[in-house]
Amino acid sequence: MTPPKCTICKAKKTYFPVQVVLPSYNLKLCREHFLEWLEGRVAHTIKKYRMFTCEDKILVAVSGGKDSLGLWFLLHRLGYEADGLYIDLGIPEYSAESREHAQTLANRLGRTLHVVDMREELAPIGEMRNWTRKPPCSVCGTVKRYYMNRIAREKGYTVLATGHNLDDETAVLWNNTLHWNMEYLAKQYPVLAAQGPFLKKVKPLCLVSEKESALYTIFNRISYVKPECPYSTHASSLENKRFLQQLEEARPGTKITFYTGFLKNLSPLLHEPLKSTGVSLALCKVCGEPTTTEICFLCQLKQKMGKI
Ligand SMILES: [Zn+2]
Ligand SMILES: [Zn+2]
């Protein structure tokens, strides 16, 4: 039996082995054409949703995982000016390893990696957890959002990019739909416009599946941290991902249809009416960062821990 041929180059390079099979797009691609296809797809996503242009100064929030590092590399390949931001949460072993991967890529790209070390800022995340009733992933998310926005603004970046992929977005969409969480549904979009002190936030990998993202990173020989964060207890998010993956295997293309259908059909209906009734933002009385309460979560935590 002759091996399957790459959908794109079969005419000229019949000997080229297929390395990636993408049933949702009815494509079989060799390594070279997979990379080209994926980069073209992300370039198109960036333009379609007006994420940024070459004039923008982009800051990529890198965690040391495959998605954010792959995204940084890809933006660089597409010719965008992008630096990285790594927030070291001080998680034993895990943080040191992921930080190292982020630094290795920064050196390879010849770009700056800004690092915020939580042990110097306040305390390692493990210790912070003891001072609040919020679940660990929620503390981590709040801390990351706070510093991402602050550092990006202080250093003069115009856009913040995160590595959320199609699987992440679909799992969140599924969960918000199951609970008819209208406020979150209204906010779920690959671009969040700048609002006062909040920088524009974008998700250029929103149409790239987890598998495609992993292959892109591996094919480009980018080393990344493999295990999930040891503190993560995303039970429901993992369950949702597994469930959607089962649907995807039975009917290829389910995830992309579900997500893009939402963006096209439902999101425009939710966006405008809810936007105007959005939460009013104030500036934290202590640090001046945007917050919905008088004193931001981070400053409240600092006060509790006797650091200010
Ligand atoms: Zn090919
Ligand atoms: Zn504050």
Task: Give the DSSP letter string of 98-115.
Answer: HHHHHHHHHHHHT--EEE
Provide the token pair at 80: 């965008």
Q: How do beta strands 290-291 and 282-283 pair? A: antiparallel
> Is 9 labelled as part of a ligand binding site?
yes
> Is 232 labelled as part of a ligand binding site?
no
303 alpha carbon – ligand 2 mean position (Å): 10
Ion ligand 2 residue ranges (Cβ < 5 Å)? 284, 286-287, 296, 299
Q: What are the beta bridge partners of residue 307? A: none
pLDDT higher than 80, residue 231: no
> Is 30 labelled as part of a ligand binding site?
yes
> Is 63 labelled as part of a ligand binding site?
yes
Cβ-based neighbour number of residue 243 at 10 Å:
12
pLDDT higher than 50, residue 303: yes
> Is 236 labelled as part of a ligand binding site?
no
| pLDDT interval class at 280 (50, 70, 90) | low
Contact 143, 128 (CB under 8 A): yes
Provide the token pair at 76: 């660089």
Mean pLDDT of the chain: 89
Tokens 């039996």 belong to residue: 1
> Is 115 labelled as part of a ligand binding site?
no
Nearest ligand for residue 9 CA? 1
pLDDT higher than 50, residue 274: no
> Is 296 labelled as part of a ligand binding site?
yes
308 alpha carbon – ligand 2 mean position (Å): 11
pLDDT higher than 90, residue 265: yes
pLDDT higher than 80, residue 263: yes
- The model's pTM is 0.91
241 alpha carbon – ligand 2 mean position (Å): 34
More confidently predicted of 307 and 53? 53
Q: pLDDT tens digit string along 17-30?
A: 778 999 999 999 99
Q: pLDDT tens digit string along 60-74?
A: 999 999 999 999 999
CB-based burial, 115-129: b 16+ in 10 Å, e otherwise = bbebeebbbbbeebb
Provide the token pair at 151: 């550092």
Q: Which residues, at least 6 apart from 252, have a Cβ–Cβ distance to it below 8 Å?
A: 23, 24
Tokens 């080209």 belong to residue: 36
pLDDT higher than 70, residue 147: yes
